[in-house]
Amino acid sequence: MARRPFIAGNWKMNKGPNEADELARELKSALAGNTAVDVAVAPPSISIPAVAARLQHTGIQVAAQDLHPQVSGAFTGQISGEMIRQLGVAYALCGHSERRALFGDTDVIVNAKVKAAFRAGLLPVLCVGETLEQRDGGQVEAVIEAQLSGGLEGLEADQVAAVTLAYEPVWAIGTGRTASPAQAQEVHAFIRGWLGRYPDYVARTVRIQYGGSVKPGNAAELLAQPDIDGALVGGAALNAESFAAIVAAATA
């Protein structure tokens, strides 16, 4: 059975509640005809209530950009999966490269966040990807393998099957430099092969998104690769028209 394409927009630290509501309103109309692609947007957490309300009954899901592993407690500035879930959020990004590089999210922390997402009833989107230095050093597979085994540690096969993976080479994020379709497919195929350690249905079911400077102009050829099941979009997700064009490319 073919995997259903999944396009997600990561708004990062852009769009406060007012602007987020406006973008959600535009997305609602731009994507009104979509039935073939799973779509989610990840606004800053403070904008989630406005976006979730605006997108109710549209089929466009809301994702959190991050979550704290604990349910509650003395963790100033943090938000738990359980709190996020109260807003009707469906997904949580875990281990985005900016979290790893700027906020100290190690594989152990990312794994705790993946587990916390499941505990709260959220579906994790686990992000993995190598830096340019690691690629040049021939370490792509070792890095991805460590992030996968660390991030998915201790999960049941059924849980792994419900995870979305996002392969985002760090050197392609926000740089305008995309992995070529062949480069991306090579890593996606490696990831799917790695999933072969679980029962067969897992590798067949898991959706692997590509992320890193995905734009309307390059989405179709990336999404045409056999192991690329969707995209995690940053910059191009901040504009309804370009995001909708990427969603449309997933059905081509």
Binding site for ligand PGA (CB under 6 A): 10, 168, 173-174, 211-214, 232-236
Smallest gap from residue 91 Cβ to ligand PGA (A): 13
- Selecting among 96, 98, 130, 188, the annotated active-site residue is 96
Is 85 or 96 the residue whose CB approaches ligand PGA more closely? 96
- Selecting among 68, 98, 130, 168, the annotated active-site residue is 168
Q: Is 57 a catalytic residue?
A: no
Smallest gap from residue 25 Cβ to ligand PGA (A): 22
Burial call 207-227: b when 16+ CB within 10 Å, e when fewer: bbbbbbbbbbebbbbbbebeb
Is 140 or 237 the residue whose CB approaches ligand PGA more closely? 237
Smallest gap from residue 5 Cβ to ligand PGA (A): 16
Is 117 or 172 the residue whose CB approaches ligand PGA more closely? 172
CA distance 85 to 204: 28
Give the residues across from 68 on adjacent strands. Answer: 80
Smallest gap from residue 96 Cβ to ligand PGA (A): 6
Instruction: Name the token pair of 162.
Output: 């419900």
Is 1 or 13 the residue whose CB approaches ligand PGA more closely? 13
Q: Is 98 a catalytic residue?
A: no
Active site residues: 96, 168
